[in-house]
Amino acid sequence: MGILVRPRSEGGGYGGWRREVDDIVLSADGAEYTVHETDDAVCVLDGWLCSGGGATELLALYRERGMSAVAAQDGQYVAVVHDRSRGETHLVADPGGFGNACYRASGFGYGSRPYDLGTATLSSEGLALYLTFQYVPVPYSIFEGVRRVPPGAVVTRRATGCQVRQQTSFPSPADPSTEGAAAPEELAARVLDLLTESLARHAAPHERLGMMLSGGIDTSTNATVLATRLGCRPRAFTASFREAGYDESEYAALVAERFGFEHVVVPVGPETVERLPDLVRGFDSPNADQAIVATQVIAERAAQLSCTHIVTGEGGDEVMGFPMSPNDDIHLVDLPQDSRELARFYLGQIALGSAEDRALVHRTLGVPEELAVDILGELYEEHRAHSALDRLLFGQWRTWLTEGVYRKDHHVFRAAGPTGVLPFADPRVMRFVAEMPAGQRYRALDGKAMLRAGIAPHLPDRILKRKKHKFWIPFAEWFRGPLRDHLHDSLLSSPVATDLLDPKLVRTLVDSHERGIADKSGILWALCFLDAWLSALPRRPHGAP
C-alpha cells in the first residue's frame, strides 16, 4: 500500500505501522516497508535498495551526508525521513522514478496514493495527459492540488512551508564523444551477470516461482538465466488469443520444452473486460496499458497455482532495445534534433488517438494543447548533448517504463497476490546500458544483438531469428465485435462521456472505430478504464462520475 504522512489533526493513516510524532502521523502498510526509529529521527522505506539495505541504512546516510545522499541511492523505493531535532520532514523518490510519491501542492501531506491526500477535484491537466500517454506523467497527478515527486527529488516540509529540490538525475550516460570497440558478444556476458544478480536476489530464493514467457528475446533471456545460471525451473505462463496474429504460445512452448519448464497456457478473451471493475481496484491512478488484461489473468492463474513470485520480460524493449529500431520503423537521420520537435515525433508514435483527437480532448478540458510537448521537451533537454536516439531511449525510461509498464505490473501482481520481478528494470542493468559509449550502445541494442548473443548457445534459431512481435491485445477487433455493446451500453452513457468530456466527441470516436475509418481502440480502452477506475474510488471527487 505504501507510506502516508499527514498532520496529526487529520488523524487516520495506514494500519501496518503507525506513529504519532510531533505534529504529524507517519504510517505504512504492505509487504516491502522497513522502519528505523531513534530518539530524534524516524525513517520509513517502502521498496528496496540495490545495496540490500533498508531504513537503517538510509537514516545513517542522512545523518552523515544529508538528503542528497539518500536521493542518490539506486533501487525502487519511496522514503520518508522525519528529523525531530531540525523540525523537518523529507519525502524522496528513487532516482529511476520507480517509487510513486505524492505531495499536496499546498498545505502538508505526503503519500504513495494521490487520493489519500484529501483532494476533492479531478485535474483537467491530469485527465488530458492520461488520454495522451495512457498514464499521468510526473509531476502531474489525476487529482487537482496533488503533485508527484520527480525522480531523485526531495520534498522538505519545515515550519516555513514545503520546498522541492532536485538532487540527482538518472541515468548518467557516458559522454557522447566516448568511443568503445566492444562487440555485442563481449557485452553479453556482463549483462547476463547483472540479470543473474537481479534474479538471484528477487526470484531464485523462492521455490514457488513463475515466469511470463512469450518466446520473444526478453522472456527467453530470463528463461535462459533462470535455467542455466540459477538452476531454477519455474512454471512458465503464456497468454493465448483466438485472434490471428496475436498468439505466441507456439514459440513459448519451444523455450519451455528446451529448459524443462512446466508450460501453462492461459486463454485471454474479451470476457476478461467484464471483470474490469475488479481489475481497476488495485490502481492508485488510471493506467490504460492494454496488456493489463493479459497480465491480470496470468497473475490470477499463477496465484491459483501457489506461485509467490512472477518474473516478467517487461522493460526489455525499453532498456535493451531502441524505442523504435533504426532497422525497423525509423532511420537515425530522420530524427529531429530539437527537443520539442523530438517530443512531437515521439507523441506521433505512441500517443492515444490522432493529433486531432488529442487537440479536441485538450480543448474540451481547457488544457493547453502543447502540454505533453512541454513535458517531453523539458525531459529531452536534460540530455541535449546526446543524440536524438539516446534522448528517446532515456526518455522512455523516465516515462513509459516507470509510469506505464512498471506501475501496471506492480499494481496487477500486488492485487492478485504474487510479487512481480522485472530484472530488465533493475537500476544496475539500466546504468550498465547508459554508461556504454554511444556507438557501442547502438550496436548492442539494435535488434537486441547483445541479448541474442548471450542466449545463442542455449536456444534454437526459430527463437533467435524471430522478428520482433509486439505484444498487442486485440481490442481493435473486440470493440468492433464482442465488446461493441460495452461501448454503446456503458461508455457512451457513462459520466466520463457525458460530464467530463463531450458526448459528441466520444460518439465520434466510437463511430470512427466501428466503421473502420481509423483504429481508435487505444483511446476507447483508456476511456473504459477511466470510467471503471473512477467508479471504484473510495470517495468520488466532486464533479466526477
pLDDT exceeds cutoff 50 at 327: no
Q: Are residues 157 and 259 in the same domain?
A: no
Q: Are residues 454 and 491 in the same domain?
A: no
Specify the DSSP class assigned to residue 16: S
**Sheet strands (E) in 408-463:** 419-421
The whole-angstrom separation of Cα 196 and Cα 460 is 21
C-alpha cell, 230: 540459477
**CATH code of the domain containing 26:** 3.60.20.10
User: What average pLDDT does the structure give for the chain?
Assistant: 90
Q: Is 332 exposed, middle or buried (0-12, 13-18, 19+ CB in 10 A)?
A: exposed
C-alpha cell, 47: 521498496
The whole-angstrom separation of Cα 395 and Cα 39 is 42
Percent of the chain surpassing pLDDT 90: 70
Three-state DSSP at 226 gives: helix
Q: Is 344 among the domain residues? A: no
Q: Are residues 460 and 480 in the same domain?
A: no
pLDDT exceeds cutoff 50 at 242: yes
Q: Which residue has the cell 487537440?
A: 359
Boundary of a domain, candidates 166, 192, 226: 166
pLDDT at site 97: 92
Boundary of a domain, candidates 418, 440, 465: 465
Q: Are residues 129 and 70 in the same domain?
A: yes
435-491 residue pLDDT tens? 999 888 888 888 899 999 999 999 999 999 887 767 788 999 999 999 999 899 889
Q: Are 284 and 411 in contact (CB under 8 A)?
A: yes
35: left (phi over 0), alpha (psi -120 to 50) or beta: beta
pLDDT at site 325: 44
With helix as H, strand as E and coil as C, how does 137-156 read? CCCCCCECCEEECCCCEEEE
28-72 residue pLDDT tens? 998 889 999 999 999 999 999 999 999 999 999 999 999 999 999
The whole-angstrom separation of Cα 315 and Cα 253 is 22
Which among 13, 42, 40 has a CA at the least distance from the CA of 29? 13
Least confident residue range of 234-248, 347-361, 501-515: 347-361
Boundary of a domain, candidates 113, 140, 166: 166
Q: Is 2 among the domain residues? A: no
The whole-angstrom separation of Cα 90 and Cα 62 is 10
User: In 269-387, which residue ranges form alpha helices assigned H by DSSP?
Assistant: 276-279, 292-304, 316-320, 339-350, 355-365, 371-381
- Phi, psi (rounded to 5 degrees) for 13: 120, 170
The whole-angstrom separation of Cα 352 and Cα 121 is 24
Q: Is 354 among the domain residues? A: no
- Residue 285, CB half-sphere, CA atoms under 13 Å: how many? 33
Residue 143: strand pairing partners:
122
Q: Are residues 121 and 197 in the same domain?
A: no
Q: Is 178 among the domain residues? A: no
Which among 350, 364, 285, 368 has a CA at the least distance from the CA of 523? 350
pLDDT at site 322: 65
pLDDT exceeds cutoff 90 at 361: yes
Q: Are residues 35 and 147 in the same domain?
A: yes
Q: Are residues 413 and 307 in the same domain?
A: yes
129-156 residue pLDDT tens? 999 999 999 999 999 999 999 999 999 9
Least confident residue range of 262-271, 326-335, 407-416, 515-524: 326-335
Three-state DSSP at 261 gives: coil
- Which amino acid belongs to residue 357? D
Total domains in the fold of the chain: 3
The whole-angstrom separation of Cα 177 and Cα 437 is 8
pLDDT at site 443: 85
Mean pLDDT over residues 496-519, rounded? 92
Residue 21: strand pairing partners:
24
The whole-angstrom separation of Cα 384 and Cα 338 is 9
Q: Are residues 251 and 224 in the same domain?
A: yes
Cβ-based neighbours of 72, under 8 Å, separated by 6 or more: 95, 152, 167, 168
> What is the residue range of 519's domain?
475-536
Write down how long the chain is. 545
Q: Are 215 and 251 in contact (CB under 8 A)?
A: yes
pLDDT exceeds cutoff 70 at 328: no
CA dihedral for 50, 51, 55, 59, sign (positive or negative): negative
Q: Are 210 and 418 in contact (CB under 8 A)?
A: yes
Q: Is 137 among the domain residues? A: yes
Cβ-based neighbours of 258, under 8 Å, separated by 6 or more: 458, 459, 460
pLDDT at site 408: 93
Q: Are residues 426 and 530 in the same domain?
A: no
Which among 101, 9, 85, 100 has a CA at the least distance from the CA of 42? 85
Q: Are residues 52 and 153 in the same domain?
A: yes
The whole-angstrom separation of Cα 341 and Cα 63 is 44
pLDDT at site 333: 52
331 falls in which pLDDT band (50, 70, 90)?
Answer: very low
- Beta pairing class for 146-148 and 75-83: unpaired
Q: Are residues 137 and 261 in the same domain?
A: no
- Phi, psi (rounded to 5 degrees) for 34: -130, 155
pLDDT exceeds cutoff 70 at 326: no
150-171 residue pLDDT tens? 999 999 999 878 899 988 878 8
More confident residue, 544 or 524: 524
Cα angle 198-199-204, degrees, rounded to a multiple of 5: 140
Q: Is 384 among the domain residues? A: no
The whole-angstrom separation of Cα 150 and Cα 98 is 10
pLDDT at site 332: 52
Q: Is 511 among the domain residues? A: yes
Cβ-based neighbours of 336, under 8 Å, separated by 6 or more: 342, 344, 345, 388
**CATH code of the domain containing 460:** 3.40.50.620
pLDDT at site 539: 58
Q: Is 272 among the domain residues? A: yes
Q: Are residues 155 and 229 in the same domain?
A: no
